[in-house]
Amino acid sequence: MKLHEYQSKQIFAKYGIPIPKGRVAATATEARQIAEELGGRVVVKSQVLVGGRGKAGGIRLARSAKEAEEVATQILSMEIKGLPVRKVLVDSAANIEQEIYLGITNDRAARRPVFMASAAGGVEIEEVARTNPEKIIKVHIDPLLGLRDYQARDIAIGIDLPKEYWKQFGDICRGLWRAYMECDATLAEINPLVILKEKSLMALDGKMLVDDNALFRHPDLAEMRDVDEEDVAETEARKYGLSFIKLDGNIGCMVNGAGLAMTTMDIVKLFGGEPANFLDIGGGAGADKVAAAMRIILSDKNVKAILFNVFGGITRCDEVAKGILVALKEVKPTIPMVVRLVGTNAEEGRKLLADAHMITAETLADAAKKSVAAAKA
Amino acid sequence: MSILVDRNTRLLVQGITGNEGLFHTQQMLAYGTKVVAGTRPGKGGEWVLDGKVPVFDSCKAAVEATGANTSIIFVAATFAPDAIFEAADAGIPFIVCITEGVAVQDMMRVREYLDQKQVRLLGPNCPGLLTPSEAKVGIIPGDIAIPGNIGVVSRSGTLTYEVLYALKLVGMGATTCVGIGGDPINGTNFIDCLSMFEDDPRTEKVVMIGEIGGTDEEKAAQFIASKMTKPVVSFIAGQTAPPGKRMGHAGAIIEGGSGTAADKVKALEAAGVKVAKHPEEIPSLLK
């Protein structure tokens, strides 16, 4: 789950990391009020869950409250990478001397958290990693020991941070580490962390990703999810415990198991079709889940055919067939459907669907070919 | 011969009284696996499945009473990390965690701890493993595979069943089929299994089923090129997966341009591995 900049920075502040004064606004009038309260120059920043906001013109400086209102009006009418801007953060502008990058992420290959820092902050770290990898300092953390003080010092030395900032930088590293640990983040990033002309450090921007699998112990974070920024169908699918991702094709796919769902998409493409979605109904899916999955697939008007591919293990094919029948009665789809049932109770499942006017297939390749043909017909 | 599980496996089921635990214990017993004990704190002293399996309050008590040497975990994701620690501390050398949805920071701590104790973990978020006609430890349907000379290792569940089934249809069987699971941080990886298959005298060929996300397939390719004498056939799922989206499995995501199916296929082909275009092509590539 992605958190907005303003949410991430509020969390950082709780862990003692200095952030600019500011608040979030949903209208230009509110933005003006916040700017008046803050006084002086402000930065108006679009709050959307994509990168590259600055380049798109979604982050702008305003010298007065009136200008803040004008800028907020423009930004609130923008779309950035297809996402409409619904909120802006109005922050006091900072006097920047230097920009630093500081972040923690999970190093999958090392199976450990890794601190990354660079004296070249402000730009995307992926870009630095590509062009100047030697400019990024990496320090792996033992997950059982946590961040040690000497490691924070190693990072400061590694990015040539002047000595007078080491103590404050250490505090910020420890704060970021605790935020990352205690929120079960998969990424906690300050970019940029700036050295102010006033000779102290401040987190001007923040980004956090939280592990969906850990949300059970963070009800407060779970509430921060911004469903406005998600695909409606993906939100609906999550409600039913389905894993769904919309794609651009016209063949809807309903499959049990993530690997098999990906494979089904791939094989549709291999035989000349385009998959409309990834959909995993999961293990042991019953009739209600299957019906919900079918409604979600059919809510996409591009879908010209549906392919059901179920390899019964824990999931029983007769249960899936019952779900299909429930959904058929309810949704009354007019598009062709190809069904392949193999494994546990496949025979019973096929019998249940005998009168449902569905195209049946034996093998995966056969099912893919038939659905591609059906979508073209 | 086989790897990891066989007739000598004495299995402990953690979470044996839950729906899934009970159902799959029944299936494993029916297959012939020696399920010697189960645990469920608070239900120690009871028996399940018509008196076939005794229940204990703790792993320690179960191991002391029955000599269990392998454990399988069916408890909810919230409690799974603790179940793994408990099994490891009870001296069980091989732990299989079926549970899906374990938090990744928990897994980093689990891996660190188990590595220090030299305990092997399979999973989490995996279907377990099957040595046809000897032992089934997990949820892979027993009837879709026959004994043979092919080692199978996979990050997926049902996709693996497809492959086993396709092999069975042409009369090909497996020595052992291992599902390593779809999480970004897990216990046993491809290289561990490839290395065990290389050393297993009965395994003659290996099938490796990968998917998008991470770089484990690329590392496996290096291992195959430098260390393996047995032929490997592969399939990689997720050719059509868009970047930045988690495809069901927590670990199946293309991040920052890394972890694409195309990269993995390229690395494997460079290592002399035949990569199937779709799973049903695998049996013909093994011939």
- Which CATH number belongs to the domain containing residue A202 in this structure? 3.30.470.20
Asked if pLDDT for residue A122 goes beyond 80, the answer is: no
Known catalytic residue: B278?
no
Indicate whether A215 and A260 sit together in one domain.
no
Distance CA A18, CA A10 (A): 10
Distance CA A33, CA A45 (A): 15
Token digits for A262?
């990906």
Q: Is residue A232 less than 8 Å (CB to CB) from chain B?
A: no
Identify whether A142 is part of a domain: yes
For B27-62, give one letter per residue: b (16+ CB within 10 A) or e: bbbebebbbbbbbbeeeeeeebeeeebbbbeebbeb
The predicted pLDDT at position B1 comes to 64
Q: What is the pLDDT of residues A227-250, one digit of tens each?
A: 887 788 888 898 898 999 999 999
Rounded (10°) CA dihedral A121, A127, A132, A138? 60
Distance CA B163, CA B273 (A): 17
Most confident of A283-292, A299-308, A323-332: A299-308
Indicate whether A139 and A54 sit together in one domain.
no
**CATH number for A264:** 3.40.50.261
Residue A150 vs residues A109, A142, A170, A173, A194: alpha-carbon distances, Å: 24, 13, 9, 11, 22
What does chain A come to in residues? 377
For chain A, give the mean pLDDT. 93
What average pLDDT score do residues A289-314 get? Answer: 91
∠ Cα A121 A127 A128 (to 5°) = 50
Indicate whether A252 and A369 sit together in one domain.
yes
What does chain B come to in residues? 287
Identify whether A5 is part of a domain: no
Distance CA A228, CA A157 (A): 42
Instruction: Enter the pTM of the model.
Output: 0.93
> What confidence tier does A38 reach under pLDDT thresholds 50, 70, 90?
very high
Are B240 and A275 in contact (CB < 8 Å)? Answer: yes
| B109, closest residue in chain A (CA to CA) | A143
The residue assigned the tokens 């299989």 is: B96
Cis bond upstream, residue A20 (ω within 30): no
Are B251 and A275 in contact (CB < 8 Å)? Answer: no
The predicted pLDDT at position A131 comes to 82
Q: What is the pLDDT of residues B3-54, one digit of tens each?
A: 999 999 999 999 999 988 999 999 999 999 999 999 999 999 999 999 999 9
Indicate whether A136 and A88 sit together in one domain.
no
- Of the two residues A39 and A356, the one the predictor is more confident about is A39
| A242, closest residue in chain B (CA to CA) | B248
The predicted pLDDT at position A354 comes to 87
Identify whether A119 is part of a domain: yes
Q: Is residue A188 less than 8 Å (CB to CB) from chain B?
A: no
Pairing of strands A305-312, A337-343: parallel
Percent share of chain A, pLDDT over 70:
100
Using only the alpha carbons of chain A, give its radius of gyration: 26
Contacts of B254 in chain A (CB under 8 A): none
Identify whether A2 is part of a domain: no
Catalytic annotation, pick one of B249, B253, B279, B283: B249
Identify whether A11 is part of a domain: no
Identify whether A15 is part of a domain: no
Count of H helices and E strands in chain A? Answer: 13, 19
Contacts of B251 in chain A (CB under 8 A): 108
First-to-final CA distance of chain A: 40
Token digits for B161?
């069943």
Give the amino acid at A10: Q
Identify whether A180 is part of a domain: yes
| B246, closest residue in chain A (CA to CA) | A245
Distance CA A317, CA A290 (A): 11
**Residues spanned by the domain of A131:** 96-222
Classify domain B10-122 at the CATH superfamily level.
NAD(P)-binding Rossmann-like Domain (3.40.50.720)
Q: Is residue A262 less than 8 Å (CB to CB) from chain B?
A: yes
Identify whether A151 is part of a domain: yes
**CATH number for A72:** 3.30.1490.20
Are B112 and A142 in contact (CB < 8 Å)? Answer: yes
Indicate whether A236 and A277 sit together in one domain.
yes
Token digits for B35?
């399920």
Indicate whether A205 and A124 sit together in one domain.
yes
Single out the residue of A163, A248, A129, A171 nearest to residue A16, CA to CA.
Answer: A171
Pairing of strands A206-210, A185-196: antiparallel
Phi and psi dihedrals of B183, rounded to 5? -90, 155
ipTM: 0.93
CATH topology of domain B140-286: Rossmann fold (3.40.50)
The residue assigned the tokens 């995307």 is: A124
Token digits for B211?
């998917």
Contacts of B211 in chain A (CB under 8 A): 259, 262
What average pLDDT score do residues A7-11 get? Answer: 98
> What confidence tier does B137 reach under pLDDT thresholds 50, 70, 90?
very high
What average pLDDT score do residues A291-295 get? Answer: 90
Are A280 and B241 in contact (CB < 8 Å)? Answer: no
Asked if pLDDT for residue A284 goes beyond 70, the answer is: no
Indicate whether A127 and A26 sit together in one domain.
no
Are A247 and B240 in contact (CB < 8 Å)? Answer: yes
Residue A219 vs residues A132, A178, A184, A215: alpha-carbon distances, Å: 40, 18, 12, 6
Of A144, A184, A256, the CB nearest to B158: A256
Sign of CA dihedral A364, A365, A370, A376: positive
Indicate whether A102 and A218 sit together in one domain.
yes
Asked if pLDDT for residue A36 goes beyond 80, the answer is: yes
Q: How many domains does chain A have?
A: 3
Domain C-terminal end among A194, A222, A250: A222
Phi and psi dihedrals of B277, rounded to 5? -75, -30
Asked if pLDDT for residue A125 goes beyond 80, the answer is: no
Domain C-terminal end among A164, A197, A222: A222
Cβ proximity of A248 and A219 under 8 Å? no
By mean pLDDT, which of A85-99, A126-140, B135-149, B156-170 is the weakest? A126-140
Counting one residue from A and one from B, how many pairs have CB atoms under 8 Å apart? 165
Token digits for A361?
């297939």
Contacts of A265 in chain B (CB under 8 A): 240-241
DSSP B16: T
What average pLDDT score do residues A49-74 get? Answer: 94
Distance CA B144, CA A169 (A): 58
Q: Is residue A113 less than 8 Å (CB to CB) from chain B?
A: yes
